[in-house]
Amino acid sequence: MNLTRWEPFAGFDTLFNRVTPNLPRVFMEEEGGIGVEFTPLADIGETEKEYLVRVELPGMKKEDVRVTMGDGFLTIEGERKQEKEAKGEKPHRVERYYGRFARNFALPDNIVPEAVRCECKDGVLTAHIPKTEHQKPREIVVQ
């Protein structure tokens, strides 16, 4: 019989992320500073020919976003940098989230990985993930 140490708050992070999925996550950086990670909002849809993943990235340049595919996942990651204050301006309220982010989306088996393309328009990144041709069942003659 193995003894396991009881951690009373072990499931708290999971619960908190489910209840407040869009709030930023604060963490300690290796250099000792404080970092912020947020989760941009996403919509996932499907047409007859493709899957669509749309992620809100307002105010971000395409150079600050990286999209990769591998191991059955589409990964969208990047960093939204905080704008420098204008000379003589002092902020009264800052509500926008800044910092690093990474979103992973599980992909189905019926896709064409080589044909995936992304576009960014009006602050929304759209990943177009084409489906493979639907294979009709083939009848096999019993010999």
Q: Provide the CA 44 distance to its chain's centre, in angstroms.
A: 11
Q: Is residue 90 part of a domain?
A: no
Nearest C-alpha neighbor of 106 from the set 53, 55, 38: 53
* Beta strand pairing call for 34-37 and 124-130: unpaired
Mean pLDDT per block of 10 residues along the chain (143 residues) reads 69 64 64 73 94 93 93 93 78 79 92 94 95 80 89
Q: Is residue 13 part of a domain?
A: no
**Domain of 55, in residue numbers:** 40-82+97-130
- Domain total in the chain: 1
Q: Return d(Cα 29, Cα 36) in angstroms, integer.
A: 9
Look at residue 46 in the predicted model and tell me its pLDDT. Answer: 94
Look at residue 143 in the predicted model and tell me its pLDDT. Answer: 86
CATH of the domain at 116: 2.60.40.790
For 111, which DSSP code?
B
Q: Return d(Cα 62, Cα 65) in angstroms, integer.
A: 5
Helix (H, G, I), strand (E, B) or coil at 113: helix
Look at residue 142 in the predicted model and tell me its pLDDT. Answer: 93
Report which secondary-structure segment, H or E, holds 120.
strand 117-121
